[in-house]
């Protein structure tokens, strides 16, 4: 039993890490915030995503179809919210100045704001549930008992794995931050803002 529990927990860590790695709006946002406001803000932004990763990972593990179907029923509204949010966020980043010169109204207003913004952004992507379902299948999770007990190991495992990625990403970006001058940070703002806005436009165009 202990061996099975440890296998479930380790699988959760690996799956949480791998699910967080692909470049998406949260990754770009974490990089931009780390460069403009430091490693802690970047890491806390990632923790918002890790929280929802763990939640969706638990749903996928338990196979709770009711929740996933309910979320799918609101897909149009969810896409509208996430698309508008990403588009407006990208534009704000593009027009913001770089580094320490970013005015207070363009900065993330505290760690709670950094955390909650990525939490909502990740929550607005219920397709993450199916990504975890696929990863569980790849890692042989279908052969393990999927009860509440095992879910209590999967959820923290996914959270830890996802957090490890965000800690690595924000730490790595923070190490190159001192080498960036104001001009470089300005262009990073523009590029990252354009990428985030592009994700928003892509989501909105899918609704047409």
Q: Compute the distance between CA of residue 119 and CA of residue 101 in angstroms, rounded to an integer.
A: 27
Domain spans, the chain:
2-75+97-181
**What contacts 24+ positions apart, CB below 8 Å, involve 4-8?**
4/144, 4/145, 5/150, 5/153, 7/144, 8/141, 8/144, 8/150, 8/153, 8/154, 8/157
pLDDT in tens, 58-99: 888 887 655 656 666 777 787 788 788 888 888 887 876 554
| Whether 135 contacts 64, CB under 8 Å | no
Residues of the chain with pLDDT under 50: 1-2, 99-106, 143
């Amino acid at each position: 039993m202990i061996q099975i529990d440890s296998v479930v927990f380790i699988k959760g860590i690996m799956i949480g890490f791998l699910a967080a790695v692909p470049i998406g709006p949260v990754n770009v946002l974490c990089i931009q915030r780390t460069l403009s406001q430091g490693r802690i803000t970047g890491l806390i932004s990632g923790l918002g995503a890790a929280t929802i990763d763990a939640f969706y990972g638990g749903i996928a593990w338990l196979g709770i179809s009711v929740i996933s179907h309910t979320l799918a029923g609101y897909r149009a509204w969810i896409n509208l919210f996430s698309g508008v949010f990403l588009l407006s966020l990208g534009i704000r980043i593009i027009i913001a100045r770089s580094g320490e010169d970013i005015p207070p109204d363009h900065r993330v207003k505290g760690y709670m704001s950094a955390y909650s913004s990525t939490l909502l952004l990740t929550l607005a992507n219920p397709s993450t549930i199916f990504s975890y379902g696929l990863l569980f299948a790849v890692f042989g999770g279908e052969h393990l008992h999927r009860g509440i007990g095992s879910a209590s190991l999967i959820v923290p495992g996914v959270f830890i794995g996802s957090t490890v990625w965000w800690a690595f990403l924000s730490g790595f970006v923070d190490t190159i931050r001192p080498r960036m001058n104001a001009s470089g940070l300005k262009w990073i703002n523009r590029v990252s803002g354009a990428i985030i806005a592009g994700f928003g436009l892509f989501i909105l165009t899918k609704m047409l």
